[in-house]
């Protein structure tokens, strides 16, 4: 399996400083305000959300495809909730998925979605964190 890398550099104090995160071809600035308030820029939790939504969508497509269902699209939004528990902590992640899969019924789709939620690598990474799932077939 592949090894992937991302980097981050922080300059200055927590509240007045700033940083840059880079993964692949994507680079984004982050600050105290972009992480803990509503400031401009990105934050680690958005990157977790991007990773989780991408991983879940791809895993779901893989397990449906293995059973000869060909998804037209799988779109997932991950909402990562940052809370407090003896310091900042990701308290929960909400996955909201909509998929177009010709020939697949809603009950079987729900089973596939549950399996993907439990077994995609990013879900496994966050074992012990509450992960909520809403998944539906559309189109």
Spatial separation of the C-alpha atoms in residues 10 and 14, rounded to whole Å? 9
pLDDT score recorded for residue 116: 98
Instruction: Report pLDDT digits (tens) over 84-136.
Output: 989 999 999 999 999 999 999 999 999 999 999 999 999 999 998 999 999 99
Any idea which residue has 């308030």 for tokens?
37
Whether residues 32 and 48 share a domain: the answer is: no
Whether residues 86 and 121 share a domain: the answer is: yes
> Up-side HSE of residue 72: CA atoms within 13 Å toward CB?
10
Mean pLDDT of 15-39: 95
Whether residues 73 and 123 share a domain: the answer is: yes
Instruction: Report pLDDT digits (tens) over 46-77.
Output: 999 999 999 999 999 999 999 999 999 999 99
Whether residues 127 and 84 share a domain: the answer is: yes
pLDDT score recorded for residue 85: 86
CATH number at residue 109: 3.30.300.20
Is residue 120 included in any domain, yes or no?
yes
pLDDT score recorded for residue 139: 78
Is residue 29 included in any domain, yes or no?
yes
Whether residues 88 and 125 share a domain: the answer is: yes
Whether residues 50 and 29 share a domain: the answer is: no
Whether residues 101 and 59 share a domain: the answer is: yes
Is residue 21 included in any domain, yes or no?
yes
Any idea which residue has 């700033």 for tokens?
18
Query: Residue 131 sits in which domain range?
Result: 44-137
Is residue 1 included in any domain, yes or no?
no
- Alpha-carbon distances, residue 126 vs 29, 51, 122 (angstroms): 25, 12, 6
Whether residues 65 and 131 share a domain: the answer is: yes
User: What pTM was estimated for this model as a whole?
Assistant: 0.93
pLDDT at 81 over 90: yes
pLDDT score recorded for residue 11: 98
Is residue 113 included in any domain, yes or no?
yes
Contacts of 116 (CB under 8 A, 6+ apart): 56, 59, 60, 63, 123
Whether residues 48 and 31 share a domain: the answer is: no
Whether residues 27 and 74 share a domain: the answer is: no
| Tally of domains in the chain | 2
Instruction: Report pLDDT digits (tens) over 3-19.
Output: 999 999 999 999 999 99
């Amino acid at each position: 399996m592949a090894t992937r890398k991302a980097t981050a550099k922080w300059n200055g104090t927590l509240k007045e400083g700033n940083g840059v995160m880079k993964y692949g071809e994507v680079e984004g600035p982050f600050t105290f305000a972009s992480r803990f308030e509503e400031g401009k820029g990105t934050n680690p939790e958005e990157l977790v959300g991007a990773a989780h939504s991408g991983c879940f969508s791809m895993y779901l497509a893989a397990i449906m495809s293995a059973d000869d269902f060909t998804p037209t699209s799988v779109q997932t939004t991950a909402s990562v909730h940052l809370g407090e528990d003896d310091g900042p902590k990701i308290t929960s992640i909400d996955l909201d998925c909509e998929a177009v899969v010709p020939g697949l019924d809603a009950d079987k789709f729900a089973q596939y979605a549950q399996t993907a939620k439990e077994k995609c690598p990013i879900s496994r990474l966050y074992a012990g964190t509450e992960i909520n799932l809403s998944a539906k077939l559309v189109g």
